[in-house]
Chain A
Amino acid sequence: DQQVKQNSPSLSVQEGRISILNCDYTNSMFDYFLWYKKYPAEGPTFLISISSIKDKNEDGRFTVFLNKSAKHLSLHIVPSQPGDSAVYFCAASLSGNTPLVFGKGTRLSVIA
């Protein structure tokens, strides 16, 4: 049973517009959530994270929102750039050093 779900396999966005990637989770004990970006032939790279005690974390063009009651988080990228085209993985953990549980990923294509 998947504990972290990314229900959109792909997303296409125009350059300059907002990209919104969604993630749902089932385990209410998760207390850290992370987003990773993966380019072809490269390993995943950390993008941004959020603790369960917060509902928003912002880093430049990237903002993650957490809705604990809905067990839902989203990653907003504004403005989207062609270099943002990659697969984005949502991940969750029970604490700082427990294994990350990943979703299946969403492939974002930013069209110039």
Chain B
Amino acid sequence: DAGVTQSPTHLIKTRGQQVTLRCSPKSGHDTVSWYQQALGQGPQFIFQYYEEEERQRGNFPDRFSGHQFPNYSSELNVNALLLGDSALYLCASSLVQGSSTGELFFGEGSRLTVL
């Protein structure tokens, strides 16, 4: 049973560029959430996708956008990259009608470095 997979694992971009990160949820899961973990910080919620729509959004600018595909996989896009966007980007999957504890299953993350 495959868990949450993310790609790429590492990437380096320069300021002003755009980046796309990809995520495949755990088998059987229909909801994907994205989190940003800056150095020394806990993960911060970016947004959540269910049924190919953004359902909830955290306090992130419009430069951060996403998409969910019919097979439940998801992309995170960040435009006009800033140095402060350097972080570990974590994808998490869950069942919208699933665990009442709110348990999320995380991927290993994509580490983005902006120079």
* Chain A residues proximal to chain B, CB less than 8 Å: 4, 6, 32, 34, 36, 41-46, 49, 51, 89, 91, 93, 95-105
A46 partner residues in chain B, CB cutoff 8 A: 103-105
Instruction: Pick the most buried of A4, A32, A43: most chain B CB atoms within 10 A of its CB.
Output: A43
Contact of B103 among A49, A102, A104 (CB under 8 A): A49
| A36 CA / B31 CA spacing, docked (Å) | 19
CB <8 Å contact, A43 and B109: yes
B44 partner residues in chain A, CB cutoff 8 A: 102
- Once A44-B43, A101-B45, A102-B44 are accepted as A-B contacts, the answer to whether A96 and B106 lie under 8 Å apart by CB is no
Nearest CB of B to A89, in Å: 5
CB <8 Å contact, B56 and A99: yes
Nearest CB of A to B20, in Å: 19
| A44 CA / B35 CA spacing, docked (Å) | 11
CB <8 Å contact, A41 and B108: yes
**B70 contacts partner chain A, Cβ-Cβ < 8 Å:** no
Nearest CB of A to B55, in Å: 9
Query: Interface size bucket, B side?
Result: 20 to 34
CB <8 Å contact, A96 and B109: no
Q: Could you write out 28 A-B pairs with CB less than 8 Å apart?
A: A32-B100, A34-B102, A34-B103, A36-B106, A43-B4, A43-B107, A43-B108, A43-B109, A45-B106, A46-B103, A46-B104, A49-B102, A51-B101, A93-B102, A95-B102, A96-B99, A96-B100, A96-B102, A97-B31, A97-B94, A98-B102, A99-B56, A99-B58, A100-B43, A100-B45, A100-B102, A100-B104, A101-B45
A102 partner residues in chain B, CB cutoff 8 A: 35, 42-44
**B40 contacts partner chain A, Cβ-Cβ < 8 Å:** yes
